[in-house]
Amino acid sequence: MTTEAKVQLTSSELGTLWMTYQSTSASLLMYDLMKEKTIDKEAQSILTSYISEAQNIKNEIMKVFNSEKAVIPIGFDERDIIREATPLFDDIFHIMYLRQIIKLNFQHSAIFSAMSFMKEVHDIFKLNYDIADKYYVITTNYLQGKGVLTRPPYVTMPKQVEFIEDKNYMSGFNVFSDKRSLNSIEVGYLNEAIESNVFGMQLMTGFAQVAKENEVKKYFIQGKELSKKIVTELSNIMMQSDIQPPSTWAGKATDSTNPPFTDKLMMYITSLISSSAISFNIIGTTYSMRSDLQLKLGLISKDIFQFSKEGAEIMIKHRWMEEPPQMEDRNQLTK
């Protein structure tokens, strides 16, 4: 008589579930506090509904961890928010924040799903993607209804198929020759990067106002200036092709200096967004066919990486960074 071996959680599944639990526990706290501070009833309803559905992701991950007898991460809890604090952001920004984090869920869920083997794990990431897809539409429609979400530039529809015939299509460094106009793929990535960094600048502004630790406050100010620099440089590239960059500045920090979030939580959210920005810029670089644009996006990625690294060092210094599950150190075990 034979017994079927139990399918075990792989290292990649454990790692991706651990990361998703961390980000979900942090985001749910942020949304819950934002919901309490939101005045607009429709925006409040969106946040309430999303929290209810996203909580299922956290619950399902806990079930898998318990089934595998794996310790559940600490993540973030009520100790990381101050409910009596005055609102740090306005209602519009609350929905912009939700929409921006949902975009990260798209990236992570698709990649993590492709790294999964166990059905229960794959189902979690599919659920996370489906919820993100649902609320991306809801938040986008809400912001468009408020007239605060700028659409990407329109373009004349192509009338015939064209092929690249000139090697100069990929050039861009020669200052004595005209650069070709951006293609629609490049414009798409530039537009998204500008929109994300306008959001990042507003987020860093609010975080800097309420950070307790002086080095954390300086770090958020550094992040605001980095976002501002990226917005300026990428907007200039679009303007050189006579393309209007996204210009909405709706959704902003209030004048509050009372922290609703701990420095630990704000540093983690900043780390999460910065890490995703690096991967997005790398994708943008690979899809660009103009050499000067590739270089510019590469340099921006380098700057974001350095910023993210400095943030990690601050988090480690203050013991705010939970260590991911480690592989066994076989060299140590054999000693």
Residue 3 falls inside a structural domain: no
Residue 328 falls inside a structural domain: no
Counted residue by residue, the chain has a size of: 335
Residue 88 DSSP one-character state: S
**Model-level pTM?**
0.90
Residue 1 falls inside a structural domain: no
The CA distance from 91 to 233, in Å, is: 29
Residue 2 falls inside a structural domain: no
Q: Which of 221, 90, 188 is nearest to 148 (CA)?
A: 90
List per-residue pLDDT tens for the chain, 335 residues long.
Answer: 444 456 688 889 999 999 999 999 999 999 999 999 999 999 999 999 999 999 999 999 999 999 999 999 999 999 999 999 999 999 999 999 999 999 999 888 988 888 888 999 999 999 999 999 999 999 999 999 998 888 888 888 888 888 887 777 777 555 445 677 888 888 888 988 998 999 999 999 999 999 999 999 999 999 999 999 999 999 999 888 888 887 666 678 999 999 999 999 999 999 999 988 887 877 878 878 888 888 888 899 999 999 999 999 999 999 999 988 776 665 665 66
Tokens of 99: 């929409």
One domain for residues 274 and 228: yes
Residue 170 falls inside a structural domain: no
One domain for residues 228 and 100: no
Within 8 A by CB and 6+ apart from 195, the residues are: 150, 246
The CA distance from 104 to 81, in Å, is: 22
What burial letters (b/e) apply to 237-276, b meaning 16+ CB within 10 Å? bbeeeebebbeeebbebeebeebbbbbbbbbbbbbbbbbb
One domain for residues 105 and 188: no
Q: How many CA atoms lie within 13 A of 22 on its CB side?
A: 21
One domain for residues 120 and 191: no
Residue 79 falls inside a structural domain: yes
One domain for residues 117 and 56: yes
Last residue of a domain, one of 92, 125, 145: 145
Last residue of a domain, one of 145, 162, 188: 145
One domain for residues 308 and 238: yes
Domain range for 230 is 180-317
One domain for residues 129 and 197: no
- What domain count does the chain have? 2
Residue 330 falls inside a structural domain: no
Residue 71 belongs to a domain with what CATH number?
1.20.1260.10
Residue 157 falls inside a structural domain: no
What burial letters (b/e) apply to 100-112, b meaning 16+ CB within 10 Å? bbbbbbeebbeeb
One domain for residues 123 and 27: yes
Distances (CA, A) of 117 to 4, 7, 125, 328: 17, 9, 12, 21
Residue found by looking up tokens 């939700």 in the block: 98
